[in-house]
Amino acid sequence: MNLSDLLLLLHEDFRKSFRVGRVKGKRTEQKSTLRRFFPVIGGTLVALFIIWIITTIVPLFGWPFVAELISENLGIGATIFNAILLFSFIGSIMVSASTVGNSSKMEYVLIMPISMRTIFLEKTIYVILYNSILWQLVGVSIFIGLSIASSSLFAFLSIPVFVVLVLGVITIGVSLGGLLGLLFSKLLAGRRTLKQIGWFLGSAAAIVVSVFYYYAIYSSDSGELFQWLFAITNALGFSSDMTPGYAVSALSLSVLVGVPIRIQDVLMGLVFLLGGVFLVYLNAVVSEKAHYSGWLASGSKRTSAKLESLSHATWNPQPIPGFTFNQTVSVSIWYNIASIRREGRVLAQYLVGPLRFVIFLILPVFAVGEEAMIFTPFLILAALIPFAISYGVYFAGYEIVYEGKNIMTLQLAAANMADYIKGKVYSAVPFVIAATVIISVIIIIIDFSLLPYLPAVAIAAVFINVASGAIAANAAAIGGDFKAERIITRQRGSAVQQPIRGWSIVRAQVIPYILGYAGVFGMLGIGTLVGAVQGALIGILSVYIFLPIYAAICYFLFRRYSHSAGVKLAQIEASKYL
C-alpha cells in the first residue's frame, strides 16, 4: 500500500463529488456560483446556527450545571455515539459489495500502477469520510459551541479528540457492514436466484424490523419516549463502558468539561481506533479477494456448449395477463419488471419500503394516546396511499433515471417515449393491486363496517398510482441524474443520494401525496358527512359518485404528465445523446 497513491485517489474522488470551482469548458453546462457553493454555504450556516444556539443557551443555565450534566451522563453520550456506529453499519452493508460489483465502472483506476488492495481501501475510506460529513458537521459545531461556553482551559482539545474518535467509530461501522455484505456475496457467489431471494428477504427483514422499531417508539407513552429509548439501548448494551461509543463519549466529553481522564478509557479508545484501522484494511483485503474471485459476478449465460440455431418471433411480451398493450408499452412493462426483479434488494426496497412512510405518516397519530385508536381502520385505509404513490414514484420516476443512458441507447428513437413512460407506470399497477388486497383483508378483520368503502379506495389507489408514476416520471425527466448509475455512492436502490435531484424530487414525492391524501380523505370525508346527514347508504353512494370524478382527474394527470415526460426524454435523447 502506498500512502501518496491513496491520498491522490481520495483527492480526485472528492474533487469529483464536491466541485466548487467553475468548469471552464464551453461544452459544459455552467452552474451558478451560488449553486456551486451551496453545500459549503449551507454547511457553514448550519454550523454557525448550532454554535450560536449553544453559546446562547448554555450561559442561561451556567457552565457548571451543564458540565455536571455532561459528566454525569456519559452513558447517554455513549448511546448516541454507538447509535452512529449502528447507523454506519446498517447503511454500509452493501457498500463494499457494490464497489466490487461495479469495479468495471472504474476501470481507469484499475489499470493504474496501484495495488487493487489500495484501490478498494481508498473506496472504503471515501465512504467512511462521506458518511462522517453529517456527524462531523453537527458534532464539531456542538463541540465548538460547548468549548466556547466551557470554563475548562483545554476544552478546545475536545474537538480533535471528537473528530478522530468519531471517525474511528464510523470506520468500525462501515468496515463491519462492508465485510458482512462481502460475506453474503461469498456465501451466495454463483447462486444467482438464491442470492436474489437472500437479498430480498434480508432487505425486507431490515425494513420490517426498522418499522417495528419505530412502531415501538410511537406506541410507547409519548411522554416517556426518550426514557423508553434509553432503556432499550441500555438493555442492548449501548451505554456500556466497554463499547466504542463509550470511549468517544468518555474521552471527548471529559476533555471538554475538564475532568480527569481514566487510563482505561484512553486504552479502550486506542484499541477501538486500531480495531477500526484493522477492519478497514481487512475490508480492502476481502474486497480484493472478492474482485478477483468473482463473488459479485452476475453469472454469464454464455457457455462453451455447441452453437444452437435460434429463431425469434416479433417480440411483444404482454407481461400483464388479461391486458393487451402496443409493443412499446408492452416492452417497457416487461423491461421494468424484469430489471427490478433481477435485484432482490431493490425489489424489497421498492415493495416493502413504503412501510416506512406508513410509520412516519400514520403512526404519530397513535402517539396521541388511546383516544386516537378510533381512527385506526381509517388510518390503515390511508396506509394504502403511500404504497400506491411509492410504487408509482419508484417504478416510473426512479427507474427512468436508473435506466439512464440505456433509455437513450436502446434504439428507442422510433418508439413513442410517452408510451415507454406509460409502460413504466403500468408496471407498478399489479403490485398496487397486490398491496390493496393485503390491506383490504387487514381492514375487514379490524372493522367489517368499512367494507363498502373498500372498492372505492382500491380503485382510487390504482388511479393515484398511475398519476403518481406519470408525475414522478415527468419530474425525473426534468431533474433526473441520468449519470447516477456510474457513481459509487448513487447505486440503484441506495439511500445515499436520490436519483432525482433538487426541486424535482420534491415535485415527484409531494404532489402525489397531496393528490392521494386529498382525494381519498376528500372521498371518505364526503361519504362520512353525507352519511351523517342523509343516512349511511346515501353516504356510501356519494363516495361512489365522487370516485369517477377523482379517477378522471388522476387519469388526466397521468395522460398529461406521461406525455410531457415522453417529450422531455425524447428531447434529452436528441440533444445530449445523439
Partner 1 sequence: MIEALELTKKFTEFTAVDGLSFHVGAGEIYGLLGPNGSGKSTTMRMLLGILQPTSGTARIMGHGIANEIVAAKRVMGYVPEEPVLPERLTGWEYINYVADIWRIQRGPEREEEIEELLTLLDIRDASDDLIETYSKGMARKIGLVAALIHHPKVLILDEVQAGIDPRGAATIKEIMNGLRDRGASILMSTHVLEIAEQMCDRIGIINQGKMIAEGTMDELRLQAKGHSSLEEIFLSLTGGPDMQKIAEFLGEIA
> For the window 80-109, what string marks contact with partner 1 as x by the rule CB under 8 A?
------------------------xxxxx-
Beta bridge partners of 480: 500
Q: Buried b vs exposed e over 267-290: b needs ≥16 C-beta within 10 Å?
A: ebbeebbebbeebbeebbebbbbb
Beta bridge partners of 337: none
> Does residue number 374 form part of the binding site for partner 1 (CB under 8 A)?
no
With CB under 8 A as the contact rule, the residue among 55, 71, 73, 115 that binds partner 1 is 115
Distance of alpha carbon 90 from alpha carbon 82, whole angstroms: 12
Distance of alpha carbon 397 from alpha carbon 350, whole angstroms: 12
Looking up cell 428507442 gives: 412
With CB under 8 A as the contact rule, the residue among 6, 277, 297, 496 that binds partner 1 is 297
> Does residue number 315 form part of the binding site for partner 1 (CB under 8 A)?
no
Closest distance to partner 1 from the beta carbon of 292 (Å): 5
Closest distance to partner 1 from the beta carbon of 13 (Å): 9
> Does residue number 292 form part of the binding site for partner 1 (CB under 8 A)?
yes
Distance of alpha carbon 491 from alpha carbon 484, whole angstroms: 7
> Does residue number 483 form part of the binding site for partner 1 (CB under 8 A)?
yes
Q: Could you tell me which of 266, 429, 476, 203 has the C-alpha nearest to residue 333?
A: 429
> Does residue number 30 form part of the binding site for partner 1 (CB under 8 A)?
no
> Does residue number 65 form part of the binding site for partner 1 (CB under 8 A)?
no
Which residues, at least 6 apart from 213, have a Cβ–Cβ distance to it below 8 Å? none
Closest distance to partner 1 from the beta carbon of 326 (Å): 23
Closest distance to partner 1 from the beta carbon of 577 (Å): 10
Distance of alpha carbon 51 from alpha carbon 355, whole angstroms: 36
Nearest residue (CB) to partner 1, 116 versus 567: 116
- Enter the C-alpha cell of residue 296: 459479485
With CB under 8 A as the contact rule, the residue among 20, 41, 69, 110 that binds partner 1 is 110
| φ/ψ (deg, to 5) at 166 | -65, -40
With CB under 8 A as the contact rule, the residue among 160, 299, 502, 548 that binds partner 1 is 299
Distance of alpha carbon 102 from alpha carbon 95, whole angstroms: 11
> Does residue number 32 form part of the binding site for partner 1 (CB under 8 A)?
no
Distance of alpha carbon 119 from alpha carbon 125, whole angstroms: 10
With CB under 8 A as the contact rule, the residue among 3, 60, 72, 300 that binds partner 1 is 300
Closest distance to partner 1 from the beta carbon of 302 (Å): 5
With CB under 8 A as the contact rule, the residue among 16, 35, 341, 342 that binds partner 1 is 16
With CB under 8 A as the contact rule, the residue among 64, 294, 364, 525 that binds partner 1 is 294
Closest distance to partner 1 from the beta carbon of 184 (Å): 18
With CB under 8 A as the contact rule, the residue among 3, 25, 322, 414 that binds partner 1 is 25
Closest distance to partner 1 from the beta carbon of 409 (Å): 11
Options 232-240, 277-285, 297-305, 336-344: segment touching partner 1 (CB under 8 A): 297-305
Which residues, at least 6 apart from 341, have a Cβ–Cβ distance to it below 8 Å? 196, 347
> Does residue number 38 form part of the binding site for partner 1 (CB under 8 A)?
no
DSSP annotation of 312 reads -
Nearest residue (CB) to partner 1, 102 versus 210: 102
The DSSP H or E segment spanning 552 is helix 536-572
- Enter the C-alpha cell of residue 373: 385508536
> Does residue number 1 form part of the binding site for partner 1 (CB under 8 A)?
no
> Does residue number 17 form part of the binding site for partner 1 (CB under 8 A)?
yes
Q: Is 190 left (phi over 0), alpha (psi -120 to 50) or beta?
A: left
Can you say how many angstroms the Cα of residue 173 is from the centroid of all Cα atoms in its chain? Answer: 18
> Which residues form the interface with partner 1 (CB under 8 A)?
5, 8, 12, 15-17, 19, 23-28, 104-108, 110-116, 190, 292, 294, 297, 299-300, 302-304, 483, 486
